[in-house]
Amino acid sequence: AAVKDKKIYYHVLGTPQSADTLIYERKDEPTLFIDADTDETGRYLFFFTNKGTSNKNELFVKDLGNPIAPNLAAPARPLYPGHTAAYEPLGVVNGTLYLLTDRDAPNKKIVAFPIDRPDPKNWKTVVAQTKNSIESARLVAGKLAVNALVDVASEVQFYNLDGTPAGKITPPGLGAIAGPSGRYDRQDVFYTFTSPLYPSTVFRFDIATGQSTPFEPPKLTFDTSRYTTERVFFNSKDGTRVPMFITHKKDLKKDGANPTMLYGYGGFDVATLPTFRSDVPAFLERGGVWATANMRGGSEYGEAWHEGGMFEKKQHVFDDFIAGAEYLIREKYASPPTLGIMGGSNGGLLVGAVMEQRPDLFAVALPAVGVMDMLRYHKFTGGAAWATEYGSSEHAKDFAYLSKYSPLHNLKPGTCYPATLVTTADHDDRVVPSHSFKFTAALQSAQGCDKPVLIRVETLGSHGYRPTDKQIAERADQWAFALANMKLGSASTAGR
């Protein structure tokens, strides 16, 4: 069962936990998720509540007065009760609260208002909603830093507090930016950049000159100049335009014979950004093609994109992924005998559903720690929290669509499914390993050809979190299994 009765306590370093002071709880709704954060000055303490994994939150504030001697008994004043929109306080400057929200703005906007007058009629729009989804924002160096996605590539713009433009970050290439970070009252600004060919690197940004300097340049053991990442677009089953990033050797021969791995997630308002994975370069050096698709369900194009892959619309996610695979085949990056699919957690569900719906498209499937039993997932550990994304089989309407794609319940005996390596961990308390155990057993029973179906169980492992040596061993097994079960031709291996 999900954890209940969450509480926020105030703890003074050096004192026993028994002396902690309870400062916030919600006895009226014991299943709420509760979080807390202060503004930069330490005066204002904000409380957030969420229902399950929904991004819609309530927002409360407690005025602590002097942060050195905080008034813990101050009331937690409701700013936005109810869970109707997302509200993220960015900071308070001279009594004005700057707030990032998707209220009446599915791609998000930044508003400002006196902190004691939160009614939306008092809002002043500082950064308006645009066609680009805002991923994050921060008050740094006396400015508002806004990190938005432009067709899934990060773009950071700075604004003065009146909303006028004040510069931007020019990243090293097409990729993902985390941050910026820093303090409002200091000029130091930092951000992290990564791309499929650029390891995650911290940069210091000079807001006066607009120049970025790597805090410590990345060290690579392969020549990235031989490779390229391209952003392409394809149409899904219903005509929706979906982006995808494809990384490969510059001299790639499009003959359909290249080992290709398609990765996806597609859910929970999480964007699949073009980032670096340390295990991918070895695959690229063997002539591999690495593709990441940006299906509906994520935050790539704002809340509307997210909602397009939730509840009864989850099939859109699978349709998008299948259309991405068909694009790779049509454009001759790959062919069904050389194409694999990979995903973890919600992405493991994706792989399980898609390999069943279109087994003819793939040579290999690598579902990791996947949610495979969509009719009972809510009965284990924190699974009930996901009902705000998937729905629940406890409701007849939800059961109707969940049962149509639940990987455990849609295997057809005698069908030739792709060679499959299921991975899980015996101590995964987020997506319990029984999902993978049941799915593997059912798939082994249903398999209608000699393609292998195996499961790899990491001992003393959790939901993807484990020591580096164990991560390396698991990734090595996945790639070895994939390459061994792809029918590779002249384009496959020899470091052309």
C-alpha 315/C-alpha 294 separation (Å) is 14
CA distances from 393 to 160, 445, 452 (A): 49, 25, 32
55-67: per-residue pLDDT in tens? 999 999 999 999 9
Contacts for 26 with CB less than 8 Å, ≥ 6 apart: 6, 32, 34, 49
251-271: per-residue pLDDT in tens? 999 999 999 999 999 999 999
Strand order through the sheet with 33-38: 33-38, 44-50, 57-63, 77-80
The secondary element (H helix, E strand) that includes residue 477 is helix 468-484
Residue 496 has pLDDT above 50, yes or no: no
Residue 492 has pLDDT above 80, yes or no: no
Strand partners, 91: 98
CA distances from 310 to 162, 377, 395 (A): 36, 16, 16
DSSP three-state, residue 80: strand
Q: Which two tokens stand for residue 139?
A: 């008050």
Residue 494 has a pLDDT of: 38
Confidence tier at 491 by pLDDT (50, 70, 90): very low
Contact 413, 423 (CB under 8 A): no
Confidence tier at 464 by pLDDT (50, 70, 90): confident
Angle at 126 between CA 270 and CA 152, to 5 degrees: 25
User: Any catalytic annotation for residue 463?
Assistant: yes
Q: Which two tokens stand for residue 310?
A: 């939730």
Helix 396-405 with 315-330: angle, nearest 10 deg:
20
Q: Which amino acid is at 493?
A: T
408-429: per-residue pLDDT in tens? 999 999 999 999 999 999 999 9
Residue 493 has pLDDT above 90, yes or no: no
Contact 58, 46 (CB under 8 A): no
Query: % helix / strand / coil in the chain, to the nearest 5?
Result: 25, 35, 45
Q: Which amino acid is at 225?
A: S
Q: Which two tokens stand for residue 398?
A: 């939800």
Region 360-389: mean pLDDT is 97
Q: Which of 133, 236, 335, 345 is catalytic?
A: 345
Residue 2 has a pLDDT of: 59
Contact 136, 145 (CB under 8 A): no
C-alpha 304/C-alpha 140 separation (Å) is 29
Confidence tier at 78 by pLDDT (50, 70, 90): very high
C-alpha 336/C-alpha 355 separation (Å) is 12
Residue 1 has pLDDT above 60, yes or no: no
Region 345-373: mean pLDDT is 99
Residue 41 per-residue DSSP state? T
Q: Which two tokens stand for residue 471?
A: 């991560």
207-232: per-residue pLDDT in tens? 999 999 999 888 888 999 999 999 99
Q: pTM for the whole thing? A: 0.95
Residue 52 has pLDDT above 80, yes or no: yes
Confidence tier at 142 by pLDDT (50, 70, 90): very high
Confidence tier at 489 by pLDDT (50, 70, 90): low
Q: Which amino acid is at 357?
A: Q
Q: What are phi and psi of 234, to 5 degrees?
A: -140, 160
DSSP E strand stretches across 394-433: 419-425
Contact 446, 425 (CB under 8 A): no
Q: What are phi and psi of 110, to 5 degrees?
A: -115, 130
Q: Which of 200, 409, 434, 463 is catalytic?
A: 463
DSSP three-state, residue 64: coil
Residue 495 has a pLDDT of: 37
Question: Mean pLDDT in the chain?
Answer: 96
Nearest CA among 190, 211, 210, 219 for reference residue 202: 190
Residue 72 has pLDDT above 50, yes or no: yes
Contacts for 256 with CB less than 8 Å, ≥ 6 apart: 329, 332, 333, 334, 335, 338
Residue 210 has a pLDDT of: 93
User: Any catalytic annotation for residue 11?
Assistant: no
C-alpha 350/C-alpha 343 separation (Å) is 7
Residue 3 has a pLDDT of: 72
- Side-chain-side CA neighbours of 53 within 13 Å: the count stands at 20
Q: Which amino acid is at 286?
A: R
Q: What is the percent of the chain with per-residue pLDDT over 90, rounded to a whole number?
A: 94
- Side-chain-side CA neighbours of 437 within 13 Å: the count stands at 9
Residue 465 has a pLDDT of: 79
Region 309-322: mean pLDDT is 99
Angle at 254 between CA 253 and CA 260, to 5 degrees: 100
- Owner of token pair 């399980």: 352
Confidence tier at 178 by pLDDT (50, 70, 90): very high
Contact 449, 482 (CB under 8 A): no
CA 225 to chain centroid, in Å, comes to 28
Residue 221 has a pLDDT of: 87
The secondary element (H helix, E strand) that includes residue 191 is strand 189-195
